[in-house]
Amino acid sequence: MKALCLEEPGRLVLSSKGPALPSALAPGEALVRVHRIGVCGTDLHAFIGDQPFFSYPRILGHELGVEVVEVGDSISNVRPGDRCSVEPYLNCGSCIACRRNKPNCCVNLQVLGVHTDGGMREAFVIPSRKLHSSGRLTLDQLALVETLGIGCHAVNRARVEAGEFALVIGAGPIGLAVTQFAIQAGAQVIVMDVNSKRLEFCREQLGVPFSINAASEDPLNALNRITSDDLPTAVFDATGNQKSMVSSFGYPAHGGRLTFVGLFQGDVTFNDPHFHRRELTVFATRNACPEDFTRIIGLVESGRINTSPWITHRASFAEAVSDFPSWIKPESGVIKAMIEL
């Protein structure tokens, strides 16, 4: 079985001797054939060598469009032939987080492609409860559901309200996902980035009404201008950049919320009096929940979310080895790269 394995930072290898499949499926398990693999920031950071919670060697891939090949006993949610999105968060079901219906931050969480081998291989076995089927979505769309789930969960965490100003810092794929769901919630969305092409994408493809290029204008002045000096009541930092995350404490309005969607290996600091004076609420947001996948599939099926602008680069399984390093470079213009099997 072929598999793409990240042996060490900077060295992605296509092997014909991927992990062996079990001879028989246990009850509740499904064998899936992988058709699409979305490449995300986690994969790129792992390739660079600065991804938290990561060890090598590792088969990457957790944004997946798959087809069910075989199912074990006691399975009713999918059957052979179904096309599915994969919820790649393997939770224990018994820890404090799982018992409180927060499987996305399970104490013993194993994320495909991060803590355990992922989907950059021809086939693998997964608990069927982690499969979300659709008879209408394409394999490309199914592979994008997990990315959208990160944004969906973040917006849910912040309880974004219709009419409020919501600032999204960082217009990479995760920031774009946050943006789409903030728009769905009815917020007046402001996107801030240092990349003019990504800001143009937000305006033209997502219909974002306000954008700020932090490389050429002062963010705070721009925010005051847009919000008539109120500042946004919901702020999301999707950069995973320490300087940006520290600066983001200065952007929420009095009584506002700050949500960290991205992460990095280090500490975030803030000025305590400034924090208290405005009574800010700070959230972390991690992964997504099963109900997010169900909601997203419905929204894409109904046409309320358009995924067509997302995929800007494609590669076959074999081409991915040579193309992968270029996807890290900002000048490549990658929004989402998709590997096809």
Q: What percent of the chain is modeled with pLDDT above 70?
A: 100
d(CA 320, CA 302): 32
Q: Where are the domains of the chain?
A: 3-133+310-340, 151-284
Name the CATH topology of 151-284: Rossmann fold (3.40.50)
Q: Decide if 305 contacts 180 (C-beta within 8 A).
A: yes
Q: How many residues does the chain have?
A: 341
Per the prediction, the chain carries an average pLDDT of 95
pLDDT (tens digit per residue) in 279-315: 999 999 999 999 999 999 999 999 999 998 999 999 9
Q: Decide if 220 contacts 212 (C-beta within 8 A).
A: no
CA dihedral 185, 270, 263, 280 (to 10 degrees): -20
pLDDT (tens digit per residue) in 66-89: 999 999 998 999 999 999 999 999
Per-residue pLDDT, averaged over 259-285, amounts to 95
Specify the range with the lowest mean pLDDT, choosing from 49-58, 150-159, 196-205, 252-261.
Answer: 49-58
Q: Is the pLDDT of residue 22 over 90?
A: no
Distances from the Cα of 16 to the Cα of 57, 112, 186, 318, angstroms: 16, 20, 48, 11
**0.85 surpassed by pTM:** yes
Q: What integer pLDDT is reported at residue 106 of this predicted model?
A: 98
Q: What integer pLDDT is reported at residue 134 of this predicted model?
A: 97
pLDDT (tens digit per residue) in 121-174: 999 999 999 999 999 999 999 999 999 999 999 999 999 999 999 999 999 999
Name the CATH topology of 3-133+310-340: Quinone Oxidoreductase; Chain A, domain 1 (3.90.180)
Q: What integer pLDDT is reported at residue 125 of this predicted model?
A: 97
Q: What integer pLDDT is reported at residue 18 of this predicted model?
A: 72
Q: What integer pLDDT is reported at residue 1 of this predicted model?
A: 85
Higher-confidence residue of 23 and 94: namely 94
Nearest to 318 by CA among 4, 61, 58: 4
For 63-74, give the DSSP string: EEEEEEEEE-SS
Q: Is the pLDDT of residue 50 over 90?
A: no
Per-residue pLDDT, averaged over 19-38, amounts to 93
Q: What integer pLDDT is reported at residue 340 of this predicted model?
A: 96
